[in-house]
Structure 1
């Protein structure tokens, strides 16, 4: 093995362990050996993306593509950065289409097309995404991940019936596939199969908990402070509903709650509700850190996401709050 390959292998090994600073040191040594190596620039782009430096990551990916116009991996990596966090949907689609010009393997084609579907859905083009879904290769695919992604894509483009067999196929290949169980639960909900949905959600929760928690964006203490700050910025009519409520911060909803049909990925749950003939009131507010972090763009957006999630839950449980006119102080603010 030559020196460049040794540094590259070392860097990717460190990436797999989550040691991005160590990986970057190895990548920089690789760059000293060959400044025009597309593999090195792709590696550096990947590391920068993992560290949250999207623009710099994109520069490295673009340099890798300049050095090798057929470098599909760099094109798709660049597309992923365009989708998240940059939300440059058209940029992502353009890079994916360039990659598809070079891809011949059906499984790799499906992988790239699924990424294009994500970009189209992000852009709000559900009809365009459905066209791509219907053009996907039929397989069979060895990967549980691709089977799941096709099922999810079909569900998100409105093909509930077509989603179910793909999701079940993913679960057959990987019985603890939390995402596949979760989307199967959503499919069964759409079919009004409450018992089946609850079981699927329980399987999803169990698989996720057994799989170990991802590293949190912030500590639990910091998250609790963000919750209190978020409550302080709620609209007056929303804040009134939870005034004096016990606020409980947890990780994910408990199994007993999920068994009753609650979505295991709900970020906020109201409990101990007032009587129907009383003003809207909740005595307990559960805020689930893992589920909030799942949908927040980053640590700086946590407070905004918590406030939005509390507001949505309050308005869902008490529709009359959603329709209430703004108070004079809210109008002035």
Structure 2
């Protein structure tokens, strides 16, 4: 990701079209690094602010604008991850990644109400599902940056070393450590159609308050983690055990009459969204192993759900 430090005679300043064409790549990178769409957008905005803060002469000296933007965005994220780690340790209850709004229902494929600029769309793949993002949260900032840049975006360790201020060998070690964390947490792949069927069965059992059916769909050692924020009280600890989770969901339904459960894509996988009086109040992401649900993440923080309103 090298850039020239001296102006090159006759080289024009890269136009806005060239520079802004990198926005989608930068959003994809920063979201995976930060786990928050709002923070990712702020990081990209700051990256562009630094680009345009340079003189025209300095911009024209940069041989590869895309590489410069990626380097700067990654360094911004590395700094943010350090401060975010401290903030999240003080967070009341569990901190969960921000789910990506997806304007389609996973069963019908019908479009939702919101449209997304293609330049802002996150490419959905294995590296943005909620289980993966939760594992990323357990990594150090340097591990996360080295792993995402190398294993997801295929940058060389020599390039990553320039960003992190470490040696290529140290970056290789960081990525290897991160890779072990991901491998140890990963369940065997389950076909999307099978996942959709299990999530749909969970929705139906929840709506009919069928505790036995819910227990049958949940792994005996399943966990359910929920966050909170603002006026929404936080759930301080994960609920563990299929039976306890099943009873908790029946209690949720009883405590909130009129709750509507919708089938929505959440970070590329079948998920659910609960809606009350036309407002999306919780986004549910699932991790499924075999034919059982082993993790449920319930995102309730209103700030994280702001992009979901209207979807």
| TM-score in terms of structure 1 length | 0.27
Q: From the two aligned structures, give the one with the greater strand fraction.
A: 2
Q: From the two aligned structures, give the one with the greater helix fraction.
A: 1
- Indicate the structure (1 or 2) with the bigger Cα radius of gyration: 1
